[in-house]
Amino acid sequence: MSHLSRRDLLRASGAGLLTLAAGGTLAACGGSGAGSSSGGDADTGTVTVWSWATAAAALRGVVPAFEKDNPGIKVDVQDIGNPAIWDKITVGLAAGGQGLGDVLHIGCDYLPGYLEKFPGGLANLSEYGADAHKDKFAKGLWPVVTGKDGHVYALPWEVNPLGFFYRKDYFDKAGIDPTALATWDDLIAVADRFKAANPGISLIGISKAANPDPDLDFLQSLMQLQGAFYFDLQGRITLGSEPDVRALATVKRLEDAGLIADVPGDQGWATATKAGKLAVAPMPAWAAHYLESKFADQSGNWRLAKPPAVTPGGKRTALVNSTHLAVAASSPRRRAAWKFVEYALTRPDSVNTMFDAGGVFPALTAAYTGPMYAAPHPYFGGQPVLKTFADLAVDGGDPTNYSGDYARALKLAGDAQTKVFLKGGDPAAVLQDAAKQLAQQTGRGIA
């Protein structure tokens, strides 16, 4: 599958899900400002917000209403750029908060590392009443924003439930109804019938040699469907656990059945999909926009369903990634910054305004009553794809702990998957070896 990230999309593709929300055709995770001073907890002044690309545009969409309802507070949303924002936040936190904006937009793969490596760098939002919003977001997100001390250090903004996009025309040729396939093994069981009806077509594309980077979106999603990942919530290593082995074994069975195409390079997956060589895209909410904007000539062929479970009767929902708004502990306007975060992320009108402005699928479940979520979309054969994703978000998923050692785990997991693809490696053996290496590199225990 593609190793495209949500950040890649926000950087490169404009309005995101904006026109999906409208039901039409789509167009396409420091000083606090001048005059800042150390100390204090002001609830007035100019709040500086750091974000990037269309997410920054989305935040700007709610600023006029916020400033009207909160006289005395001005908001300056800055597009720091991606990946520049991660370097700037890391440098600022390492410098004790010097140079940071007041509000920081942080992805789920960075937030745990910041909390681990820079304790005290982000403001404790529980002091401002953040815990009152605990049950308002997609299930599985609250532990992601909660520190080991039980306090809240960010609020969820964007959520990306896993979806199962499929080419209806290809499955119709084979007489297969993908919505009736409850597990990935059910899909493997009809592999011969699918291939006979669609010669030269694969189900999924993965860069098997991890060229240029580990291509683990699909493997990770199979882990997350089981409530597993590389680490548990206590930070212990679970890379060699039974669910993780089961996930990689599922990848191997798909490979052995001839259902996975090798799509090397940065554009390999997109090139194969554009050529009509792939029938399935197990991808999250942002991919609805990506498919339409990149493959417009395939309009009417794609549909969306719940992803198959990994085990019979297993979960069919997973929250594969998310982004959040935090407040820098060094900000002299922490209270004002919190007011903006709370206003932007806990009110349906605000998050839907931002959805309209920048295509960021909201984590706030109360937002899903808006009419945009029920609108049919022509590209997907009139299917209301936003409603499907809203339903998946309400169902929620198990929390994922990326920890501060995600990059190390990603490299080792990528090596393990490549051994399975290119050397016929045993999933259990390669993952258990990877877990041992990860323990040696990080000093973390194995669960």
User: What pLDDT digit, counting tens, does each position of 125-177 carry?
Assistant: 999 999 999 999 999 999 999 999 999 999 999 999 999 999 999 999 999 99
Q: What is the mean pLDDT of residues 81-101?
A: 95
Which of 26-30, 229-233, 345-349, 366-370 is predicted with the least confidence, judged by mean pLDDT?
Answer: 26-30
Q: Residue 257 and residue 90: Cα distance in Å, rounded?
A: 44
Point out the least confidently predicted range of 4-18, 110-124, 418-432. Answer: 4-18
Burial class (CB in 10 A: 0-12, 13-18, 19+), 144: buried
* 25 contacts 288 by C-beta, under 8 angstroms: no
Beta-bridged to residue 79, according to DSSP, are 51
The pTM assigned to this predicted structure is 0.91
d(CA 401, CA 220): 12
CA distance 142 to 263: 36
77-80: long-range contacts, CB 8 A cutoff, minimum separation 24: 77/49, 77/51, 78/48, 78/49, 78/50, 78/51, 79/51, 79/52, 79/53, 80/50, 80/51, 80/52
Q: Sign (positive/negative) of CA torsion 122, 160, 349, 291? A: positive
Instruction: Tell me: pLDDT of 226 over 90.
Output: yes
| pLDDT score recorded for residue 40 | 61
Give the integer Cα–Cα distance in Å for 201 and 195: 7
Identity (one letter) of the amino acid at 188?
I
Mean pLDDT for 245-266 is 97
Looking at residue 1, its pLDDT comes to: 53
Structure tokens at 300: 């009417």
Confidence tier at 43 by pLDDT (50, 70, 90): confident
Q: What mean pLDDT do residues 321-343 have?
A: 97
Q: Print burial letters for 201-230: b (CB count within 10 Å at least 16), e (below 16).
A: bbbbbbbbebeeebbbbbbbbbbbbbbbbb
Predicted local distance difference test score (pLDDT) of residue 41: 82
| CA distance linking residue 287 with residue 295, whole number of Å | 11
Q: Is 48 helix (H, G, I), strand (E, B) or coil?
A: strand
> In the predicted model, what is the mean pLDDT of residues 194-216?
96
Section 401-412 average pLDDT: 96
Share of the chain above pLDDT 90, in %: 87
Say what percent of the chain tops pLDDT 70.
91
- The answer to whether the bond into 199 is cis (omega within 30° of 0) is no
* Helices and strands: H and E segment counts in the chain: 18, 10
Res. 15: pLDDT tops 80? no
At 205, the pLDDT band (50, 70, 90 cuts) reads: very high
Q: Tell me the average pLDDT of the chain.
A: 91
Residue 360 has pLDDT above 70, yes or no: yes
Provide the pLDDT for residue 23. 39
363 neighbors 137 (Cβ within 8 angstroms): yes
Confidence of residue 216 (pLDDT cuts 50, 70, 90): very high
What's the pLDDT tens digit per position in 21-30? 443 322 224 3
